[in-house]
């Protein structure tokens, strides 16, 4: 995946290097960080577009994010698409968790899945929660899952 900043600037370094540089820079500025990772998707015609975000929250001082987009023409049910979103987020979280632990940065994985059983996306809630918690990550679903339901949603 090609990562970029919100302003469109491409990230030339590896994701781990870019994240570590951001952490070190923020620590040097006296900021405490928390990282939230989330993915959202949207179906347009025959294409499913995904956006994965890494949101860096500065305690009481705003934040910034890295973004990567991906697309597929594979047909998926809604449940399969929700689990694919979670898998993309978990893959990124897994690749960064040792680095974040080494720098004592909190990590949450956000799923764009509704906790209300009246919504269709709720059919994937148990599997998504089990997947994320089973990997040892903190899990957040709607309405607390802003990384996926707000940030990633705007990047599609």
Domain ranges across the chain? 3-154
SS3 of the chain: helix, strand, coil, percent, to 5: 40, 35, 25
**CB half-sphere exposure, 21, CA atoms < 13 A:** 9
Asked if residue 109 lies in contact with residue 38, where contact means CB atoms within 8 angstroms, the answer is yes
pTM, two decimals, is: 0.95
**pLDDT reported for residue 141:** 94
The answer to whether the beta carbons of residues 73 and 95 sit under 8 Å apart is: no
What does each of the 156 residues of the chain score in pLDDT, given as a tens digit?
Answer: 899 999 999 999 999 999 999 999 999 999 999 999 999 999 999 999 999 999 999 999 999 999 999 999 999 999 999 999 999 999 999 999 999 999 999 999 999 998 988 888 888 999 999 999 999 999 999 999 999 999 999 999
| pLDDT the model gives residue 119 | 87
Q: Say what the pLDDT of residue 120 is.
A: 85
Per-residue pLDDT, 122: 87
For the 3-154 domain, the top CATH level (class) is alpha beta
């Amino acid at each position: 995946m090609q990562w970029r900043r919100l302003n469109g600037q491409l990230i030339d370094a590896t994701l781990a290097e870019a994240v570590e540089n951001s952490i070190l820079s923020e620590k040097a500025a006296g900021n405490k960080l928390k990282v939230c990772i989330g993915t959202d998707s949207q179906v347009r015609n025959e294409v499913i577009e995904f956006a994965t975000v890494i949101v860096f929250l500065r305690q009481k001082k705003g934040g910034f994010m890295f973004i990567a987009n991906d697309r597929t023409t594979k047909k998926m049910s809604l449940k399969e698409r929700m689990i694919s979103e979670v898998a993309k987020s978990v893959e990124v979280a897994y690749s960064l968790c040792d680095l974040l632990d080494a720098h004592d940065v909190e990590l949450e994985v956000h799923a764009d899945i509704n906790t209300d059983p009246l919504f269709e996306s709720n059919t994937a809630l148990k599997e998504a929660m089990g997947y994320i918690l089973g990997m040892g990550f903190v899990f957040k679903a709607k309405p607390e899952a802003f990384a996926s339901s707000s940030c990633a949603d705007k990047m599609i």
